């Protein structure tokens, strides 16, 4: 089924690839099962666009998490075409008043970063902390609070923005930290 660039008045995210048809998370999951990391990265970005246009911002953000979890080399052609989707996340956060459930990205990224497991755990955790700080810098704290209970119960120390940048520069890529600095918290 073809997808229009505007569904229910939604503007397509300019930081994500155009979705030619309506996609669901199972579409990107199929790409993950292949051997091509670039293909999965692009599938997750395209699925995020489709979900955004369908009025499902929380699901779009989850697809962007999947894209950030893909280990690509800094010179991968997919990154040349579509840089890591931090700017797409910020774009979605700033449109939180549009129709669709967004959840609490601040709390989500706090939990994601502090409970990360699986492949590329360290890189994915630092990227989640970056997303935490971006969300926290844009979303009002009274509507999107941190999980204070987790902080107290687990004595969780949330890393400061500068530490996140240092760690991502160490294990991510210079282009990644350049993107984040441009979005500066």
* 36, 69, 102 - which closes a domain: 102
Cα–Cα distances in angstroms (integers) from residue 179 to residues 19, 142, 182, in the given order: 24, 27, 5
Vertex 133 angle, CA 53 and 96, to 5°: 30
pLDDT at 39 over 60: yes
- How does residue 32 score in pLDDT terms, banded at 50, 70 and 90? low
Tell me the C-alpha distance between 132 and 100, whole Å: 20
What are the pLDDT digits (tens) for 40-95?
899 999 999 999 999 999 999 999 999 999 888 888 899 999 999 999 999 999 99
**Domain match, 118 and 97 both:** no
Question: If you average pLDDT over every residue of the chain, what do you get?
Answer: 89
Lookup: tokens for 138: 């844009």
What are the pLDDT digits (tens) for 113-147?
999 998 889 999 999 999 999 999 999 999 999 99
**Domain match, 26 and 38 both:** yes
Other CB atoms within a 10 A radius of the CB of residue 8 amount to 11
DSSP annotation of 13: P
Domains held by the chain: number: 2
Tell me the C-alpha distance between 136 and 161, whole Å: 11
* 51, 83, 102 - which closes a domain: 102
**Domain match, 69 and 85 both:** yes
Domain span at 60: 1-102
What pLDDT is stored for residue 74 in this prediction?
Answer: 84
pLDDT at 28 over 80: no
**Domain match, 49 and 116 both:** no
């Amino acid at each position: 089924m073809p997808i229009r660039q505007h569904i229910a008045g939604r503007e397509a995210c300019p930081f994500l690839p155009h979705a030619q048809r309506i996609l669901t998370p199972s579409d990107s999951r199929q790409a993950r099962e292949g051997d091509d990391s670039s293909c999965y990265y692009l599938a997750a970005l395209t699925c995020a666009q489709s979900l955004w246009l369908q009025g499902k911002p929380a699901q779009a953000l989850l697809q962007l998490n999947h894209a950030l979890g893909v280990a690509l080399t800094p010179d991968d052609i997919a990154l040349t075409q579509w840089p890591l989707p931090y700017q797409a996340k910020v774009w979605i956060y700033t449109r939180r008043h549009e129709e669709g459930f967004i959840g609490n990205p601040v709390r989500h990224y706090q939990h994601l970063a502090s409970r990360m497991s699986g492949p590329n755990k360290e890189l994915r955790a630092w990227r989640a902390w970056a997303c935490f700080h971006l969300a926290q810098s844009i979303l009002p704290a009274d509507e999107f609070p941190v999980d204070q209970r987790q902080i107290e119960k687990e004595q969780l120390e949330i890393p400061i923005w500068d530490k996140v940048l240092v760690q991502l520069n160490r294990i991510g890529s210079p282009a990644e930290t350049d993107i984040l600095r441009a979005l500066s918290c």
